[in-house]
Amino acid sequence: MKLDGKRVLVTGASSGIGLELARVLAARGAVLAISSRSAERLEQVSEELASAVPGIRKPLPVACDIADEASVRHLIGACVESLGTVDVLINNAGICVYGSVEKTQIADFRALLDVNFLGPVQAMLEILPFMKRQGHGLIVNISSVAAIHGVPYLGAYSASKAALVALSQSMRAELAGSDVRVMLVYPDYTESAIFENETKVGGARRPEGPYAPASDVAEAIVRAIEAEKRDLILGTRGKALAFFDGTAPRLVENAMRKIAVELREEE
């Protein structure tokens, strides 16, 4: 797929992977809509992109709380109205909760599901009629390697990202025969603000890196879009996890148990 001139909506474009995606996509000539909750930050990003890539159309900033149904409806409506349609939707906005499942409150599970699962679901439901009518479209769902196998102290996060994987797989089958595709991306640990902003519920310390630069992750995602890949698992650890989870699940379980014990913090 050539991205030059394609209309692309990136959610969570104010920082981290989403911001880097917007930068790479702008450089490829995509016509962008960028979204997050902060209108002020989005305006800055839009201006930065417009001046960094001479000749591109200034990205459309649309403030949206992805956890709010009306807000998501407004986001998709504004993109369709201003850009004409959306060729590529990148569901990237996301949050994290870190700590043991036992210490995680139901409210934390709900917040994760609202942002990491129901938000993308609603964006897809809103955009699908347009994509089907125009006869093409690509939805890129940013999941996580933590969805391949539940990771200790990321139980609620892993579950929210695994829900997105399962739904995407169902949609792929249902969309058979149309030219609307769903791509899944599984990033490994990536440098971003997600770790500062996450809710820490306790019970464990965070593992030390390595963390991939968000710009490398964004470049890999854009290349995978161009190559029309179905799935992109990032990093050696992520690829090894997927391989061994399929071929030697006991090995993965033992490794996860070891990590859990190493990171556990008694109070």
Residue 44 CB neighbours (<10 A) = 12
Tell me the H-state helices in the chain.
16-27, 39-52, 69-83, 106-112, 119-134, 155-174, 194-197, 214-226, 236-247, 249-263
**In the complex, which residues of this chain contact ligand NAP (CB under 6 A)?**
11-18, 36-38, 41, 64-67, 92-95, 115, 142, 144, 187, 189-190, 192-194, 197, 214
Q: Please say whether the beta carbons of 198 and 107 come within 8 A.
A: no
Q: Is residue 98 annotated as part of the catalytic site, yes or no?
A: no
- Which two structure tokens, joined as six digits, stand for 4? 């030059």
Q: CA-CA distance, 199 to 208, in Å (whole number)? A: 18
CA atoms within 13 A on the CB side of 87: 15
- Residue in the block written with tokens 């800055």: 44
DSSP letters of 245-265? HHH-HHHHHHHHHHHHHHHB-
* DSSP SS3 for 62: strand
Residue closer to ligand NAP (CB basis): 132 or 200: 200
Residue closer to ligand NAP (CB basis): 65 or 216: 65
Radius of gyration of the chain (CA): 18
Catalytic residue among 98, 153, 157, 186: 157
Q: How far is the CB of 41 from ligand NAP (least distance, A)?
A: 6
Residue closer to ligand NAP (CB basis): 73 or 136: 73
Q: Please say whether the beta carbons of 148 and 238 come within 8 A.
A: yes
Could you tell me the end-to-end alpha-carbon distance of the chain, in angstroms, rounded to an integer? 52
Residue closer to ligand NAP (CB basis): 213 or 267: 213
Residue closer to ligand NAP (CB basis): 184 or 214: 214
Q: How far is the CB of 188 from ligand NAP (least distance, A)?
A: 6
Q: How far is the CB of 163 from ligand NAP (least distance, A)?
A: 12
Q: How far is the CB of 23 from ligand NAP (least distance, A)?
A: 13
Residue closer to ligand NAP (CB basis): 38 or 199: 38
Secondary element (H or E) of residue 221: helix 214-226
Candidates 96, 107, 222; CA nearest to 161 is: 96
* φ, ψ dihedrals at 249, nearest 5°: -60, -30
Catalytic residues: 157
